[in-house]
Structure 1
């Protein structure tokens, strides 16, 4: 399939692909989700002990279904799922976590210019999979396992199951028992791995120094695994990847497109795009907002 890369910066093109989604430079956002204090306390305890959070569905199913359809339309037309970040609704979804993120990263948290989306198709041959074991940032991401520097969030838009490639993680509590720091996937003891199935609209997240990866699809998968991720940082610390920007004021649509193209080179060791998109990414892509 030949992609119309000459239309990458045409806002009308993206609106045609997904007329049920919006494309605006200054979108109107939904109010933040209010998390009960006891739930935030439980999440804090989990992050402190194991380095990650794993919450059931927190978003309106209508929003999740709209974004799922958006990615399915993009993939059907040959585009990587990451182009969902052209649309306002994906930024609105993360904006709904404003109070949640403030609780863990401070009121003045910032958004890192790192994001991606996945469409892991059902596959009878088991040829499709998510990304292999890795950490999002190899440096210090928390002090005393409690004061977070940065946090990655991951939202499944379909049910993520062992059959379609759900997330797996090496809990912090297990990693602490190792005699030496884990520097390679082969250092991880398989019995320490924790599988994290999650329903559509759930909220998962982890310290950025935590080892994690997703599985391989199988013939038993009932639906594709479609998901989103964004990364955030406490502004009290120097930016891990400057400059940070405000989630309440996402980039204008053209800059979103250029940032998406900039992700291709950043993540080409994990997932390759088509040659024509690689070329377009080199021409117009930026890795910073």
Structure 2
């Protein structure tokens, strides 16, 4: 049926079994241009006749201006429940494209590709929000380096979030002179807690004298999301780099590690997917990442110094208050996790830890106010909670916005970018790191084929460490 209606590519069956697979199938069916196909994928064939009686047969009738509103009205009158209405409307009016493969990668990440960038495959009538922000990306035959240059355009980023800074010399000077200083006693306490629990926290206060406006950064991430950009594009601004630089003395004295530039940004409650499209209720945007170790292979159990401190740590900083309502972090402390140092040996760590029901009582919630600091080992099992928007509204709490960055010993993991680019890398290097990390973490947040190709173009103008390049290339080719 798909081929008969002229659609070239149906979603591979394995995607239907993956997280979000149902949406992939609905998106593919919607491009067959018949509501009947959409409804059959949803197993709602009984509604086909009803919708045909309402004049709903060709989805193209609802792809133009005002189409979403008209479609919602008709579906509401038909008696469909709100969840299915939202799913059908998303598929028909704003579905991510599934038509056409991503562009083939260039020979190496370190070299600029000399082939044209990927053809835009966003669905007609609902282009990727990035195209609306940077129309120049629409130019036919635009080569990869030119696409990367458009992404790194300083004027665009300065205009988008004027409360933040972009390549500001004064900010660079401030970063060099604003390293957070802690006394020997507090450093020892942090080390002791890391050794005992696998993490430590420092609650916002006078000790954390950030040289940036934490609230302004949180607002900027929300602005980025409203314009269709993933939170990771906060790295285009100086502020997250300054915060990472401020913390490095603390990291070095506690564990001997240095910044590897493995950044992540989080906006739980954004209502948007990694493709920039509206997310469904209870979707990925309403919860943190599921339980995981930042370096989960058993080989990483040896990545500890002789004194027991980890050779890889993550620093996590909430930019809004993080609570049990809006998705604070949770963890299983080291003492209650047999796989922390012993390895999981092919087992699911959750099954090993919670083999006895009373072990659930060892789960530790880590709520903290904006501007606090959590630092944890690569072996700490941790996750972000699921946000309940209704409860959050009742309590008047903000969405959970946060950033994190990793530090490691060079023998375990080298910095992704040359250290001489710090503390404030040039725009092209920032865009390259954003693109490379979006590909590296695509299993957690699928950006779709068009954005994957765009991110590859950004990443291709920068040379990374061989290990990181291999991860990026492997994910892209997969």
Q: Would you say same fold, with TM above 0.5?
A: yes
CA RMSD of aligned residues (A): 2.7
Residue number in structure 2 paired with 1:18: 161
Shift of 1:282: 2.2
After TM superposition, list the pairs within 5 Å mapping 1:136-175 onto structure 2: 136-138=294-296, 139=300, 140-143=302-305, 146-175=308-337
Which residue, out of 208, 212, 220, partners 2:391? 220
- Decide whether the 8 Å contact of 1:152 with 1:231 is kept in 2: yes
Residue number in structure 1 paired with 2:123: none
Residue number in structure 1 paired with 2:408: 233
State how far apart, in whole Å, the 1-side matches of 2:313 and 2:421 are: 14
CA separation of 1:169/1:145 partners in 2, compared to 1, >3 Å: closer, same or farther?
A: farther
Residue number in structure 1 paired with 2:130: 3
Task: Please tell me whether Structure 1 or Structure 2 has the larger radius of gyration of its CA atoms.
Answer: 2
Shift of 1:61: 9.1
Structure 2: 5+ residue runs without aligned partners?
1-127, 138-149, 272-279, 355-359, 466-478
- Decide whether the 8 Å contact of 2:318 with 2:401 is kept in 1: yes
Alignment coverage as a number of residue pairs: 286
Per-residue CA deviations over 1:150-172 (Å, capped at 9, x if unaligned) read: 11110000011111111111111
CA separation of 1:228/1:246 partners in 2, compared to 1, >3 Å: closer, same or farther?
A: farther
After TM superposition, list the pairs within 5 Å mapping 1:26-41 onto structure 2: 27-28=172-173, 29=175, 30-41=177-188
Shift of 1:177: 8.7
TM-score normalised by structure 1 residue count: 0.88
Per-residue CA deviations over 1:97-125 (Å, capped at 9, x if unaligned) read: 1321220233xx43224211010017895
* Paired residue secondary structure (1:97): helix
1:92 aligns with 2:238: no
- Decide whether the 8 Å contact of 1:112 with 1:244 is kept in 2: no
Per-residue CA deviations over 1:134-192 (Å, capped at 9, x if unaligned) read: 11113133235623311111000001111111111111111149997444243232333
**Greater share of strand residues, 1 or 2?**
1
CA separation of 1:234/1:105 partners in 2, compared to 1, >3 Å: closer, same or farther?
A: farther
**Greater share of helix residues, 1 or 2?**
2
State how far apart, in whole Å, the 1-side matches of 2:448 and 2:211 are: 32
State how far apart, in whole Å, the 1-side matches of 2:340 and 2:425 are: 42
Shift of 1:278: 2.0
Per-residue CA deviations over 1:80-111 (Å, capped at 9, x if unaligned) read: 111101111111111111321220233xx432
Higher RCO (CA 8 Å, separation ≥ 6 residues): 1
TM-score normalised by structure 2 residue count: 0.55
Residue number in structure 1 paired with 2:262: 114
